[in-house]
Homo-oligomer: A and B are copies of this chain.
Amino acid sequence: MLTIGTLSKKTGTKVQTIRYYEQIGLMPEPGRTEGGQRRYDNAQLDRLSFIRHSRQLGFSLDAIRELLDLSDHPNRPCDEADAIARRQLKQVEQRMDRLKALRTELKRMVHECSGGRTGDCKVLEVLRDHSECLTEHEEIGA
């Protein structure tokens, strides 16, 4: 019987976060002591580890919900899990591409700054005028 604090330490998840996962139905409601404190078993520890690990790989809570669901039904074909992972991979690659463009632009900005007055600062100039950009970049909401 594990307390929420133990679970927290074992998985590196904040206590509040565990309760949050329960609230949104990602973690099941655990048993309680007479006094009303949560007590977990190993299955729940595994589930939380799964969630955390998936989060580290960048999956959204919705995606994780699906993955958990698939994981709970070992006889279903695993195409879906595969598709979710592929989707995630694609997203990661897209984000990387965008970041690459940003890096190029930022490097150029920083490089060209000659250390004078803000009035002729290249950094600010570039920000003022998009047309100076050599690469395409659209980061917002990434």
Minimum distance in angstroms from A101 CB to a CB of chain B? 9
Minimum distance in angstroms from A92 CB to a CB of chain B? 5
By size class, the interface of chain A is: 35 or more
Minimum distance in angstroms from A139 CB to a CB of chain B? 5
Q: Say yes or no for A54: interface residue by CB 8 A criterion.
A: yes
Minimum distance in angstroms from A64 CB to a CB of chain B? 9
**Cβ-defined contact, A78 with B124, below 8 A:** yes
Give the interface of A toward B (CB within 8 A). Answer: 46, 49-50, 53-58, 67, 70-71, 73-82, 84-86, 88-89, 92-93, 95-96, 99-100, 102-103, 105-107, 109-110, 113, 115-121, 123-124, 127-128, 130, 137-140, 142
